[in-house]
Amino acid sequence: MNYPNGKKKSVPLNGTSKLNKSSFSNRGMTLEDDINATNTYYLEMNKAVIHKKPTPVQIVKVNYPKRSAAVITEGYFKQASTTDYNGLYRKKYIDFEAKETKNKTLFPLANIHEHQIIHMKSIVDHGGICFLIIRFAVYDETFYFPAEKLFSYWNNKISGGRKSIPYDNVKQEGYLIPFQYQARVDYLAIIDKFYF
C-alpha cells in the first residue's frame, strides 16, 4: 500500500506485520472514546439522549498560586458510582456499564461491584433497559451483554462459583456489536432488534 508520502509500507518476508494484525477499529481509541463518539452521533441525529454519568467528587483542598491557576490538591468520591451511562431512547430508560478487558478467555467479574449489580437490578425491575458493553481488546470485539444474563453469573460468584464469564459464553449469550464509522459502538441496533 502506498502512503501519502509516497513510501511503501515494508512487510517482513514471512508476510505478516504487527500493523496488519489490528483491525480498522483498533485506532488507539478506548471503548469509552468509541461510546462517547457514538452517543454524540446519536444526539446529533436526534436518535437518543444518552450521556456518561459524572463521578461525584467532594473537593476538600484547593491551592490558589494565582487566580487563573487553581489546583485541586485533595478530594474524594462522595459515593460509589453506579453505572457509566444513562439516558433515553424511544421513551425507554437506558442504563449501562462499559468494560474493556485484555483477557483472551474470560471477563473477570471483579470488574463489576456489588452496588452496581444492585443498581442494575433496580433498573431492570422498573422496566428500564440495562446491559454491559464488554470489549475484548485482544480480539477487538465488542459485545452487548444483557444485565439479566449478568445476574446469574453474579449469583453464581456470590455462592462460591466461578468468578468470571467465559469468553465463549459472552459470545453465545451476548450480541456482537460490529464497528461502524459514525456510530462506532451501535448498541441501539441491538436494542431495536430485541426490545422494539
Over the stretch 36-47, which tens digit does the pLDDT of each residue have? 999 999 999 999
Q: What is the pLDDT of residue 60?
A: 74
Q: Provide the pLDDT for residue 165.
A: 98
Q: Which of 16-20, 138-142, 181-185 has the lowest mean pLDDT?
A: 16-20
pLDDT band, very low/low/confident/very high, at 56 (cuts 50, 70, 90) = low
Pairing of strands 57-63, 49-52: unpaired
Residue 26 is predicted with a pLDDT of 41
Maximum mean pLDDT: which of 22-36, 47-61, 71-85, 124-138: 124-138
Burial class of residue 8 in the structure, from the number of CB atoms within 10 Å of its CB (0-12 exposed, 13-18 middle, 19+ buried): exposed
> Could you tell me if residue 6 is inside a domain?
no
- Alpha carbon 170 to chain centroid, angstroms: 14
pLDDT value, residue 188? 98
Q: Do 37 and 184 meet the contact criterion of CB atoms below 8 Å apart?
A: yes
Nearest to 91 by CA among 48, 52, 32: 48
Q: Between β-strands 71-77 and 57-63, what pairing exists: parallel, antiparallel or unpaired? A: antiparallel
Calpha distance 33→18 (Å, rounded): 23
| Residue 69 confidence (pLDDT) | 79
Q: In sequence order, what are the beta bridge partners of 2?
A: 8
Strand blocks (E) in 122-185: 129-136, 141-146, 164-166, 175-176
User: Tens of pLDDT along 101-139?
Assistant: 999 999 999 999 999 999 999 999 999 999 999 999 999
Cα 83–Cα 84–Cα 87 angle in degrees, nearest 5: 95
More confident residue, 65 or 33: 33
Phi-psi region of 117 (alpha: psi -120 to 50; beta: other; left: phi over 0): alpha
Give me the amino acid identity at 31. Answer: L
CATH number reported for the structural domain that contains residue 183 in this entry: 3.40.1350.10
Average pLDDT, whole number, for the chain?
A: 85
Q: Within a domain: residue 170? A: yes
Predicted confidence (pLDDT) at residue 64 exceeds the cutoff of 90: no
- 29 within some domain: no
Domain residues for 48?
35-53+80-195
Total domains in the chain come to 1
Residue 7 lies in a domain: no
Instruction: Examine residue 25 and state whether it is found in any structural domain, yes or no.
Output: no
The answer to whether residue 9 sits within a structural domain is: no
User: Is residue 43 situated within a structural domain?
Assistant: yes
Name which residue leads in pLDDT, 56 or 196. Answer: 196
79: pLDDT confidence band, cut at 50, 70 and 90? low
* Residue 181 covered by a domain: yes
